[in-house]
Structure 1
Amino acid sequence: MTRTALRRPRALVVSALAAMTVVSGCGADVESSTPKSAGEQVTVTNCGAPLSVSGVPDRAVSNDTGITELMFALGLGDRMAGYTTYEGKERDIESSPWRADFEKTPSLGTAFSREIIAAARPDFVFAGWNYGFKESTGVTPDWVRSTGAVPYQLTEACRQAGTTKRGVVRPLDALYADLSNLGQIFGVSGRAETLTAEYRAQVEAARAGAPAASAAARVFLFDSADPTPFTSGRNAAPDQIIAEAGGRNIFGDIDDSWTSASWEAAAQRDPQVIVIVDYGAGPQNTVEAKIKQLESQPLMAQTTAVRERRYISFPYAALVEGPRNPQTITALAEYLRSQGL
């Protein structure tokens, strides 16, 4: 790929990253947690089951950047014993509106393991299925419970009954549910309600300029390919981000969260725009490398999006459930309108 050919995607990446810094509620001037009286208990619904928490947790551990940013958006950095993340999430922290909170909060490394969690002595562990909770590692809600800590599951990643498929409510409803639940658990319900109102208003404003559903642009979420493309089904945050921005996720008929598809299916559905997940670490994970992969893939090379080079990129944390979602919708909506879509 020539230097000239890369100029347009680079400009789009800069625009999308800049938009991520406008998210409201960056962790400053928020109400502090209100300690509950001794023995006071709050019960919320988490993944369809009641979850009871006594007192206000003060040694929370979270996994992954989007999940950790939910804590920071609610002003709960002082309630955290630490967070873990994964290799390749440098772009998330670098672009985060809560970068200062990441710097102040203990980083527990890149392994969400029993040993790391136990060493932090948490009373509250916030993760999700495939966002840290996995039977293969032994880190499950049941194990967390056995240590005496409270396990809280990311609602976007709740498992469907009797299956390992994820997603039981629409992605933004998952975000609002988690804000409400965390607000109640940590005594910051007012803050949670304010954020939810702001996010709903942002989404409504972005949706106002969207075309009718019948005219929605076909959008392909491209995370990676090894060798088949990893993308978003209808239960992952990108599906609703795309829909609220005025597009249509080409894999919105898959009843799952983040999942694998095929190049044949992606090409057959002829996307008009491709949203690329920017991890920012390693030569194979750069946006330019992913664009080169798309353009060298024989089937994808014939699609409208690749022929017209309609690419836009966002950091990973902007595309999983988290407080960046509303601004991601706004940025994607602006891009689609700029392309006449």
Structure 2
Amino acid sequence: MPRRATVLLTVLSLAALTGCGAQVAADGKDTAAPSGHYPVTIENCGVRTTYDKAPRRVVTNDVGIADIMFALGLEDHMAGYVMPAYRGDIDAVAWKAAYGKVPWLSKKAITKEIALDARADLVFAGWHYGFGEDSGVTPASLKKLGIGSYVLTESCRNSTTGGSRGVMPPLEALYTDLETLGKIFDVEDRAAALIKKYRKQVADAQAKAPEEGERPSVFLYDGGEDKPLTSGKYAGPHDIITKAGGDHVMKDLKDSWTTVGWETIVERDPDVIVINDYGTPTAAQKKAFLMSYPPLANVSAIKHHRIYVMDYADLVESPRNPAAVTALAGYLRNVRRG
């Protein structure tokens, strides 16, 4: 069958599938007759959507987003996941069986073709976590194909700050997504239990943190040599560093993941540098660069060899964040400022 005809049939099939699934609510009013839990109206990144039933063929993009679905026990609602450039250990998580059960659709970036071929009724991704005008994969473009979208809350665009990402503290973004997805998929009890568990985990680590003024300063290094890619106050590392007892040196940066200048890092002189272990270059290569980069020679973290490596899936929004707080807290407790 010609490709055009195949895509047309797929789109028509998806339109039939999603016609009774999700729809944008008009004036906040439900448009379908109540039936048990459904319809349910949620708000995601400022967009109100009504679901008449739980999506059945979800495609996720990136490891942290797949983790969220699996932590909620929603693997039976998934058609597959896309996970580009991740080298971490997915066997170490409590939901590792789900990774073996759900198809790994691609190790490259998500495309509209991947979603169509999977007969997706919902794509769960984020801005710069799969969604982007450059790739042509956006909630608007998917809607034209009859496919719904859910946007990772960490990546919500903030219209008041020129399109930067982030509208709430990172861990609150995680809890928000768990709670909202719990409503969409009628697993609110599971979501509530996870949120309670994660809040306690973070609180326990936070209770052992140094007092204000005694906290080591921390810079998150994602990569880049000309300009370092780092985390602002709206990406996961901000809350992870802060709750673990560190003073995040980029806490005044009102964005999620973005670049800054090396002169800013030298001026703020972090006691610790956390490396985000993701893709290429490797963490070892990133560390070698930092240790040999002349402008950083007098930075405290470099002088005292205080470089701590964390996995990418620990640092982006995911159910691994609370455990990451605990792990980093253990390291920071042994760091003296200056």
TM-score, normalising length: structure 2:
0.86
Q: 1:115 aligns with which of 85, 108, 113?
A: 113
Matched, 1:265 2:264: yes
Per the alignment, residue 288 of structure 1 pairs with 284
Alpha-carbon shift at residue 148 of structure 1 (Å): 2.0
Q: Quick one: which amino acid aligns to residue 266 of structure 2?
A: A
What are the ranges of 5 or more consecutive residues in structure 1 without an aligned counterpart?
1-35
Which protein, 1 or 2, shows the higher relative CO under an 8 Å CA cutoff with sep ≥ 6? 1
Per the alignment, residue 103 of structure 2 pairs with 106
Moved more, 91-100 or 191-200: 91-100
- 1:144 and 1:213 map into 2 onto residues whose CA distance is 47
Deviation per CA, 1:126-161: give whole Å up to 9, x if none.
011000110111111111222222210100100002
Percent identical among aligned pairs is 45
The answer (yes or no) to whether the contact 1:242–1:332 under 8 Å persists in 2 is: yes
Q: How does 1:95-174 map to 2 (within 5 A)?
A: 95-109=92-106, 110-161=108-159, 163-174=162-173
RMSD: 1.7
- 2:113 and 2:37 map into 1 onto residues whose CA distance is 30
Per the alignment, residue 312 of structure 2 pairs with 316
Per the alignment, residue 235 of structure 1 pairs with 234
Moved more, 155-164 or 258-267: 155-164
Q: 2:55 aligns with which of 51, 54, 57?
A: 57
SS at match of 1:108: strand
Deviation per CA, 1:283-315: give whole Å up to 9, x if none.
x32x22111100111121211111111111111
Higher Cα radius of gyration: 2
- 2:94 and 2:314 map into 1 onto residues whose CA distance is 11
Q: Of Structure 1 and Structure 2, which has the larger fraction of its residues in helix?
A: 1
CA change 1:340–1:209 in 2 (3 A) is farther
SS at match of 1:220: strand
- 2:46 and 2:182 map into 1 onto residues whose CA distance is 18
Deviation per CA, 1:195-217: give whole Å up to 9, x if none.
00000001110110112232221
In the comparison of the two structures, how many residue pairs are matched? 302
Q: Quick one: which amino acid aligns to residue 103 of structure 1?
A: G
SS at match of 1:228: coil
SS at match of 1:52: strand
Q: Quick one: which amino acid aligns to residue 214 of structure 2?
A: A
Moved more, 92-101 or 215-224: 92-101
The answer (yes or no) to whether the contact 1:236–1:320 under 8 Å persists in 2 is: yes
SS at match of 2:328: helix
Alpha-carbon shift at residue 316 of structure 1 (Å): 0.3
The answer (yes or no) to whether the contact 1:37–1:55 under 8 Å persists in 2 is: no
Alpha-carbon shift at residue 249 of structure 1 (Å): 1.2
Matched, 1:300 2:296: yes
Deviation per CA, 1:256-283: give whole Å up to 9, x if none.
000001111111110101111112x55x
Per the alignment, residue 30 of structure 1 pairs with none
Per the alignment, residue 28 of structure 2 pairs with none
